[in-house]
A and B are shown apart, each in its own frame.
Chain A
Amino acid sequence: MSNEKHSDSWIGKLDELESLPGETPFNKAAAWDRLHQRMDGKKTKKRGILYWAAACLFLAAMALLFLEQERKAPPASYVENPDKKKVHEVVVDVTETPVIVKAPVVPVVGDSPARKKSLPVKDRNPIIISDVATILPPIIKAIPQSDTMLAETTAVAAAPKKMRVVHINDVGGDVIGNAYVYPEHKQFKISLSGPAGFASQIVADKTDKTASSPKN
């Protein structure tokens, strides 16, 4: 057993010793209870950790799903304006030889809303395409779509609203001034001769109807 030549008898005796005489014996039941509690405690602790991990994973998955949905769906208030994209659109004919343009002649209205607001629609200088054509070769043409559309819209908005023309006799039961007018009543205009400033008087013909005012 040992490396040197030790007598096995005393080593064997020492190895097989189970208790010391005169000492209180080891309380196995209490020790077993402690050990059993420790073993159960570790099991429940492990289970608890697993439950927490599962809950955290579930929450993380839900949060990811929610974020993904948020990212996919655009906001309801946002409406894409198709005209806005075409403001700076320039048609370039690639087939022809390129021409160097010294300065941009076509005034491009800036995107900033403040600038748009400061200039009223009437004061804006219209873009004259013919001018561009004289300066620039016909390779590059600007399409100022948004400005023309805006002008048209303004013109439509400024037109007076047409009212329906109706003869006074066709109006039934409407209030004109303070008097009630009925179509069945014949009206006469009797002009009295006299100095200027005499008011005309409208007198109802009472041949058909006796009452001049409506009866409720």
Chain B
Amino acid sequence: MNIPELIKEAKKGSTAAQRYLFDLLSDRMLMVCRRYVRNQQDAEELLLDGFYKFFKSLPELNYQGDAALHSWAKRIMINECLMFLRKKNAFVVVSEHVAETVALEEDVLNNLSAAEIFNLVIQLPAGYRAVFNLYVIEGMNHGEIAGLLGISEGTSKSQLSKAKSLLQKMLMQQNIEYVKRKTQ
């Protein structure tokens, strides 16, 4: 059974089709949740909340390909995570004038594995991490991020700047260790 048929059956309420879709998407969606929420148990709980909403709003989905399905599911998960963080007051408000453009060492990042990048990202504080994820990985602009997190655009920019500078430091440390490891 291909994905469009699965979605059709899941829309009708077929438990088997819903289970198959859950198995197909849950691993990637859990990693998405963990990028925003560091705690594994919180991330799993948010994954379940997200899938509950996913199946509930499945009749509204107009299937246009696997990538669209993934991005739709990811959007639901991200919204759940942001709601959770907002409830916990996880976003640190930083003064706006701090914003300065910090360039990431893309070459260093490209040389790292996905797991290593993931471990670096989740070490960022919650506020920085959320803005970094939304801006760099999800490709949103500061206006959208400000609307989603309930902060000003300036705050979003300063948060991103801080996140990048912190990540740069971590990358340098990583690189030193990497070079050290290579030279040893």
How far apart are the CA atoms of A21 and B119 in the complex, in Å?
A: 11
- A residues within 8 A CB of B106? 6-7, 10
- A residues within 8 A CB of B22? 28, 31-32, 35
- A residues within 8 A CB of B30? 26
How far apart are the CA atoms of A19 and B28 in the complex, in Å?
A: 8
Interface of chain A residues 1 through 33 with chain B (CB within 8 A): 1-4, 6-7, 9-11, 13-21, 26, 28, 31-32
Chain A interface: which size bin? 20 to 34
- A residues within 8 A CB of B139? 1-3
Question: Which of B104, B114, B135 has a CB less than 8 Å from the CB of A14?
Answer: B114
Known A-B contacts A17-B115, A28-B26; A35 and B52 likewise in contact (beta carbons under 8 Å):
yes
How far apart are the CA atoms of A184 and B106 in the complex, in Å?
A: 152
- How far apart are B111's CB and chain A's nearest CB, in angstroms? 9
Q: Does B19 reach chain A (CB closer than 8 Å)? A: yes
Q: Does A206 reach chain B (CB closer than 8 Å)? A: no
- How far apart are A172's CB and chain B's nearest CB, in angstroms? 102
A19/B31 in contact, CB under 8 A: yes
B115/A20 in contact, CB under 8 A: yes
A13/B114 in contact, CB under 8 A: yes
Summed over the interface, the residue pairs from A and B with CB atoms below 8 Å come to a total of 81
C-beta contact mask, B106-134 vs A, less than 8 Å → 1, else 0? 10011011110111010000000000000
Known A-B contacts A17-B31, A18-B31, A31-B44; A39 and B104 likewise in contact (beta carbons under 8 Å):
no
Known A-B contacts A6-B106, A26-B27; A35 and B51 likewise in contact (beta carbons under 8 Å):
yes
Q: Does A47 reach chain B (CB closer than 8 Å)? A: no
- How far apart are B34's CB and chain A's nearest CB, in angstroms? 9
Known A-B contacts A10-B106, A26-B30, A31-B44; A16 and B55 likewise in contact (beta carbons under 8 Å):
no
Interface of B (DSSP majority class): helix
A32/B19 in contact, CB under 8 A: yes
B137/A3 in contact, CB under 8 A: no
How far apart are the CA atoms of A39 and B48 in the complex, in Å?
A: 10
B52/A11 in contact, CB under 8 A: no
- A residues within 8 A CB of B28? 16-18
- How far apart are B76's CB and chain A's nearest CB, in angstroms? 14
Q: Does B47 reach chain A (CB closer than 8 Å)? A: yes
Q: Does A36 reach chain B (CB closer than 8 Å)? A: yes
Binding site for B on A (CB under 8 A): 1-4, 6-7, 9-11, 13-21, 26, 28, 31-32, 34-36, 38-39
8 A-B contact pairs sorted by A residue (CB < 8 Å): A7-B106, A9-B110, A11-B136, A13-B114, A17-B114, A20-B118, A26-B30, A35-B51
Binding site for A on B (CB under 8 A): 15, 19, 22-23, 26-28, 30-31, 35, 44, 47-48, 51-52, 55, 104, 106, 109-110, 112-115, 117-119, 121, 135-141
In the complex, given contacts A17-B114, A36-B15, what are 15 additional A-B residue pairs having Cβ atoms less than 8 angstroms apart?
A: A1-B137, A2-B136, A2-B137, A4-B136, A10-B117, A11-B137, A13-B117, A14-B118, A14-B121, A18-B31, A20-B115, A26-B26, A32-B19, A35-B22, A39-B55
Give the 9 A-B residue pairs with the shortest CB-CB distance, closest first.
A13-B114, A18-B27, A10-B109, A1-B139, A17-B114, A7-B106, A2-B139, A17-B31, A35-B48
